[in-house]
């Protein structure tokens, strides 16, 4: 059993990475083989709208673009569960995660009412989101609606509604005094994270475990 995690954050040791790695730790404790991928270490771009993946005379489900991402698209289709992690930039996923999902999801979707997915199997998945805004601010700026389409496509393409974990009000800087950041309270954020941080790590670990359980159902 193989579970892959894709980190859509340019910070390789940031909040998103920590939660993804904790989820993989939970999966490994439940018997899964795991693989962790930092997307921002790869040289790739999003869909180029060539429609090779929709051609009737070609194999559906294959992105023809060849770059650093290509082998990981193949690996993703061979995995038994997938984890997607992204910080929230301007109330959406990072450009790196968007580009990855374009390549993965669009190549496995054809314009057919009868065949919603050519992924080839149903697998569980989960999205982990990290953000420096509060839950109330996320709702105020319509964040759930902004990213709902990606979760819908995960459901459509992978065949199972994805799990989600939302980590709010995260710390962006080690020292807020070095940055223009008067809209935030460093002390409030640290107080919040002292309580919420361990809870999020526990939830990430449990998501990893649950993905393993879902693959055996």
- Can you give the three-state secondary structure of the chain, one letter per residue? CEEEEEECCCCCCCHHHHHHHHHHHHHHHCCCEEEEEEHHHCCCCCCCCCCHHHCCCCCCCCCCCCCCCHHHHHHHHHCCEEEEEEECECCECCHHHHHHHHHHHHHCCCCCCCCCCCCCCCCCEEEEEECCCCHHHHHHCCHHHHHHHHHHHHHHHHCCCCEEEEECCCCCCCCHHHCCCCCCCHHHHHHHHHHHHHHHHHHHHHHHHHHHHHHCC
What is the per-residue pLDDT for 1?
93
**Residues in the chain, pLDDT under 70:** none
Q: Give the per-residue pLDDT at 116.
A: 85
What's the pTM value of the predicted model, to 2 decimals? 0.96
pLDDT at 58: 87
User: What pLDDT is stored for residue 180 in this prediction?
Assistant: 94
Decide if 137 contacts 183 (C-beta within 8 A): no
pLDDT tens digits, residue range 163-214? 999 999 999 998 999 999 999 999 999 999 999 999 999 999 999 999 999 9
What does the pLDDT read at residue 113? Answer: 87
Task: Dig out the tokens for 66 from the structure.
Answer: 């060849």
In this predicted structure, what is the pLDDT of residue 216? 76
């Amino acid at each position: 059993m193989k579970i892959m995690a894709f980190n859509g954050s340019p910070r390789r040791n940031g909040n998103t990475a920590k939660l993804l790695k904790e989820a993989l730790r939970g999966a490994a404790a439940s018997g899964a083989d795991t693989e962790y991928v930092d997307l921002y270490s790869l040289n790739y771009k999003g869909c180029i709208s060539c429609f090779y993946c929709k051609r009737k005379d070609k194999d559906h489900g294959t992105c023809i673009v060849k770059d650093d991402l290509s082998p990981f698209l193949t690996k993703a289709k061979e995995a038994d569960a997938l984890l997607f992690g992204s910080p929230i930039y301007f109330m959406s996923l990072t450009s790196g995660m968007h580009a990855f999902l374009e390549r993965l999801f669009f190549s496995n979707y054809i314009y057919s009412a009868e065949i919603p997915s050519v992924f080839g199997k149903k697998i569980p998945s989960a999205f982990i989101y990290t953000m420096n805004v509060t839950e109330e601010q996320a709702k105020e700026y319509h964040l759930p609606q902004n990213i709902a389409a990606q979760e819908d496509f995960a459901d459509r393409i992978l065949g199972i509604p994805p799990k989600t974990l939302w980590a709010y009000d995260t710390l962006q800087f080690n020292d807020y005094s070095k940055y223009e950041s008067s809209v935030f309270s460093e002390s409030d954020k640290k107080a919040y994270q002292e309580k919420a941080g361990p809870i999020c790590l526990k939830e990430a670990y449990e998501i990893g475990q649950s993905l393993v359980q879902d693959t055996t159902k």
